[in-house]
Amino acid sequence: MDKIIIQGGNILSGTVEASGAKNAALPLLAAALLVDEPVLFHRIPHLHDISTMMTLLAWQGAKVMFDDQFCLHVDTSSVTKPAAPYELVKTMRASSLVLGPLLARFGEAVVSLPGGCAIGARPIDMHLRGLELMGADIKMEQGNIIARVNGRLKGAHIVFDQITVTGTENLMMAAVLADGETVLENSACEPEIVNLAESLRTLGAIITGDGSHRVVIQGVERLHGGEITTIADRIETATYLAAGLITGGDVTVTDTDASMLESFLAKVRETGALVETGDGFIRCKAQGRLRSVDIDTQPHPGFPTDLQAQFMALMTLADGVSVVRETIFENRFMHVQELARMGVEIRLDGNSAIVHGCEKLSGAPVMATDLRASASLVLAGLAASGETEVSRIYHIDRGYERIEEKLRKLGGRIERVSANESGLQGSASL
């Protein structure tokens, strides 16, 4: 099993490009199932979950191919298997995203659910209730969702019990081929949902209200092919900005959009760091030791839960005590005990973590427990004195494209090593 070895203490500075967003690309790829013509995708990141989705589409019968310009061509006109078997989707939390498109286009779908998520429950009850309101017959058998509809789905008025990103995406995709009007109330308004809605409109869908908590979809007879571009990964963007800040550096991320990160950047400004934004770039520069800042995670446009762990890493070296409150997932503090191994005092109190900023972190062997936790440990390792070894880094490969290469470009001393390499402990070539 691969590990990441970091020799900390370097100040990170320079410029790095943002990749396409995984959380946008996955629903966009699922949306290709709604179309019986070719779709060309730009800025698809090379990540494990993306590879899984591509493999699933190919298994279903689609033609899936990257060209020499790294554009992805997907043609689902030859899909014959409206299913997602466990063997293919067991590692991909977003597997439920194919349910709505398959049901809308083929009238049936058999989708296996992956195992439980380490950071908390992600029930899809709201997805299923919405599809039932649209006329689907749904049952569960041996871990599979079996959904069928007689004819076409019907437009419906659907009110989510709580805000759900994948639920909004799934039902939006199902509704574009339904008869009549569908209204989604209390819907999520993340930038990735806006990206999906804009892309569906490019393919012929009629959608209004995306970016708000009330989305209205007028069903159409069919969609057509077209070209789709994935937005920048706002979580990756913020992670590299945080890498500069935690090391006392000055990092600029290009090909990104500051409007997607307003809550994060507001908190960065509160720490005393310099924040500059412009057309397609964000710059964050440390100006002395950061000040402690409290955060509460909230649905967009609030502070993203996917940046909670990275911001906590920043607070480990801040001046003062900060409170990090997690309101989205019930088990998203597993990185706390790993950060504590590096010399910081963090106390848990219910859904809050009280972080006592320290003068310095010390390198240590740590273990990643989920995607964003792994990023926080890498950030801490970049700032720590000595060597940090991060194990179970398959988590980080789910959401960060070429992370070692990008961090090295900024001045980080970081390498990936295989577990079977000799002299692993403390002897990686950096």
Q: Where are the domains of the chain?
A: 3-18+233-417, 22-225
Q: In 3D, which of 123, 240, 260 has the Cα closest to residue 190?
A: 260
Inter-helix orientation angle 22-31/48-60, to 10° = 10
pLDDT digits (tens, 9 = 90+) for 103-133: 999 999 999 987 544 434 456 889 999 999 9
pLDDT score of 8: 98
Angle at 124 between CA 123 and CA 129, to 5 degrees: 130
Instruction: Note the pLDDT of residue 194.
Output: 98
| Average pLDDT rounded to a whole number, residues 175-188 | 98
With 80 as the cut, is the pLDDT of residue 258 above it?
Answer: yes
Model confidence at 159: pLDDT above 70: yes
C-alpha to C-alpha distances, 305 to 285, 301, 310, 311, 372, nearest whole angstrom: 23, 11, 10, 10, 9
Average pLDDT over residues 70-97: 92
Residues 369 and 395 sit within 8 Å (Cβ to Cβ):
yes
**Which residues face 214 on adjacent strands?**
185
d(CA 56, CA 86): 10
Best CA proximity match to 353, nearest among 331, 311, 323, 318: 323
User: What sign does the CA torsion over 229, 234, 236, 241 have?
Assistant: positive
- Mean residue pLDDT of the chain comes to 93
Confidence of residue 95 (pLDDT cuts 50, 70, 90): confident
Q: In terms of Cα–Cα distance, which of 329, 309, 383, 420 is closest to 9?
A: 383
Give the homologous superfamily in CATH for domain 3-18+233-417: Enolpyruvate transferase domain (3.65.10.10)
Diameter over CA atoms, the chain: 65
Omega of the bond leading into 301 within 30 degrees of 0 (cis): yes
Q: Which of 265, 314, 267 shows the shortest CA–CA distance to 295?
A: 267
Q: How far apart are CA 143 and CA 411, in angstroms?
A: 46
Its CATH architecture, for the domain 22-225, is Alpha-beta prism (3.65)
Task: With beta carbons less than 8 A apart as the criterion, state whether 404 and 2 touch.
Answer: no
First to last CA, the chain: 19
Backbone angles phi, psi at 294, to 5 degrees: -85, 145
d(CA 219, CA 177): 5
What is the percentage of the chain residues whose pLDDT exceeds 70?
A: 95
The pLDDT value given to residue 371: 82
d(CA 245, CA 312): 12
pLDDT of residue 290 exceeding 70, the answer is yes
User: Around 311, how many Cα atoms within 13 Å sit in the side-chain half-sphere?
Assistant: 31
Q: pLDDT-based confidence at 92, cuts 50/70/90?
A: confident
pLDDT at 419: 66
The residues that are catalytic are: 117
Please tell me the least confidently modeled range out of 148-152, 294-298, 424-428: 424-428
Q: What is the pLDDT of residue 425?
A: 42
pLDDT tens-place string over residues 353-399: 999 999 999 999 999 988 888 999 999 999 999 999 999 998 898 88
